[in-house]
Each structure stands twice: as C-alpha cells, then as structure tokens.
Amino acid sequence: MEIKRQRATTDFILYGYRIGNSFLHKIPAGIKLLAILVWSVCILYAPAAACAAFFLILILFALKAEIPFSLLTADLTPIFYYGILLYVTSALSKKNFMPSLSDVIFCFRLLTMLMMSSILFRTTTPLELKSALEEIEIFVRKKLRLKPKAEISVMFSYFLLFLPRIFTIWNDISRAYKARGGKNDIKKIFVLFPILISLSIHKAWNTALAAEARSR
C-alpha cells in the first residue's frame, strides 16, 4: 500500500523516479548512464529504420519495468512542443509549410533519446544518479593523474536532478491555471512559460544556497 501511494505521488511528476524491483531498477546507475551516452551517439547516425526498431524495444523495456504507457507518453510531450517550434521556424523560412522528411526524422531521433531519458529517471533514484556521476568523474581523474574530486559531476548532477523539479513546477502552475478556467491551448504556453522561468530560477537559487551552506 505504501509503495502504491508513493507511486501515485511521483507519477504526476515528469521524469520522476518510480519505485520498482525490475531488472532495469537493479542495473547500476553508472552502467545506465554510459549506455545512454553510447546509444545516443548511435541514434544520431543510425538509419531511421534502426531507430524505429530500437524505439519499440525501449517501449517493451519500459513496460517490463512496470512503467505505464501513460507515463511514457507524458514524459515524451516536450518533443511535441519542440516539433511545433521546429515547424513554425521552418514555415517562416520556407515557402512550403509542410515539414521536410529530415525534420520528421530528426524529431523522431530526439523522441528516442527522450524515451531513454524517461526510462533512466523512472528507474534510477536521484541519489544513485549523483553517486554514479561522482564515481565516473573520480575514476577518469585518477586515470589522468588528477586530484580525485568530483566538482564537475556534482554540478552536472544538480542539473540532471533539477529537470524533474522543473516539470513539477510546470504541473503545479498548469493545475492552478486550469482551476482558474484556463484552457489547454497555445495561449497557455505564453501565459505560463514566464511564470515557469521565474519560479525555476527562484528554486535554483534556493538550491544553490542550500548546497553552499552544506559545503561550508
């Protein structure tokens, strides 16, 4: 019952960790990070058919990890906003208002990368991500005969861990907007985006102050 309650809470957060005991949850975070790095490079250069096959495999992996399809769809929504932006800029720069095939393929490659990111965040806790990044940086520094400290990985881990917080803020202001009678249209983006930026900066500032206080 407690697990179900915690799942229900985190399910509302895009890219939020989902409690589970699947094989993807058990894979060390460092291995998942390195795998995503390698596969992301491969996706950029692989044929479109190979990307489509890999995308289907990712869906099967996600379902095997007990990640509902509805959550995957929610995590992939940012690519649709990017697609709209890409279409608008393409339409303004060309006489043809139809997106080119290369634009569609590029968006699909990004969609596949977002799917990998969704699986990573849904099956890996923030602490596991932070620890894995620190271990990787310390290992590389030792190989390069540098001082074994993890300054870069700490900053990067803060960036990674802040992404779900941004989506949490977006969910909060979206619910408030809807409660006040706002509609889910293009106007919503223009109204809420400045608020999202302001609240995200405020949250990042407070996080930075807390991190600085702990480091003293």
Residue 86 near residue 33, CB atoms below 8 Å: no
What pLDDT score does 95 carry? 55
Q: How far apart are CA 54 and CA 58, in angstroms?
A: 6
Identify which has the larger pLDDT, 127 or 186. 127
Residue 178 near residue 147, CB atoms below 8 Å: no
* Token code pair at residue 189: 């983006």
**Of 89, 124, 159, which one is at a domain's C-terminal end?**
124
Kindly state whether residues 14 and 114 are assigned to the same domain.
yes
Number of H helices and E strands in the chain, helices first, is 10, 0
Q: How many domains does the chain have?
A: 2
Q: How far apart are CA 159 and CA 177, in angstroms?
A: 27
**Of 66, 91, 124, which one is at a domain's C-terminal end?**
124
Dump pLDDT digits (tens) for 110-161: 889 989 988 998 998 888 888 888 888 888 888 887 777 766 666 766 666 6
Kindly state whether residues 161 and 211 are assigned to the same domain.
yes
2 pLDDT above the threshold of 50: no
Residue 157 near residue 134, CB atoms below 8 Å: yes
Q: Is there a domain that residue 175 lies in? A: yes
Kindly state whether residues 118 and 152 are assigned to the same domain.
no
- Domain hosting residue 194, numbered range: 148-216
Q: Is there a domain that residue 44 lies in? A: yes
Kindly state whether residues 60 and 110 are assigned to the same domain.
yes
57 pLDDT above the threshold of 80: yes
The confidence band for 58, taking pLDDT boundaries of 50, 70 and 90, is: very high
Q: Taken in order 5, 6, 9, 12, is the CA torsion positive or negative?
A: negative
The confidence band for 90, taking pLDDT boundaries of 50, 70 and 90, is: low
Kindly state whether residues 93 and 7 are assigned to the same domain.
yes
Q: Quote the Cα angle for 188-191-193, to 5°.
A: 95
pTM: 0.67
Kindly state whether residues 84 and 189 are assigned to the same domain.
no
Q: How far apart are CA 208 and CA 46, in angstroms?
A: 39
Helix 48-64 to helix 101-123 angle (10° resolution) is 20
Torsional class of 140: left (φ above 0), alpha (ψ -120 to 50), beta (otherwise): alpha
Q: How far apart are CA 7 and CA 19, in angstroms?
A: 6
Residue matched to tokens 């995503």: 36
What pLDDT score does 6 carry? 45
Kindly state whether residues 154 and 81 are assigned to the same domain.
no
Q: Quote the Cα angle for 14-65-121, to 5°.
A: 35
Q: Greatest CA separation found in the chain?
A: 60
**Which whole-number Å values give the CA distances from 105 to 35, 111, 118, 196, in the listed order?**
22, 10, 20, 29
CA-based nearest residue to 35, from 111, 108, 124: 124
Tell me the mean pLDDT in the region 21-47: 91
Residue 22 near residue 65, CB atoms below 8 Å: yes
Identify which has the larger pLDDT, 156 or 51. 51
Kindly state whether residues 96 and 167 are assigned to the same domain.
no
What pLDDT score does 54 carry? 94
What pLDDT score does 139 carry? 84
Identify which has the larger pLDDT, 155 or 22. 22
Q: How many Cβ atoms are within 10 Å of 137's Cβ, its own excluded?
A: 20
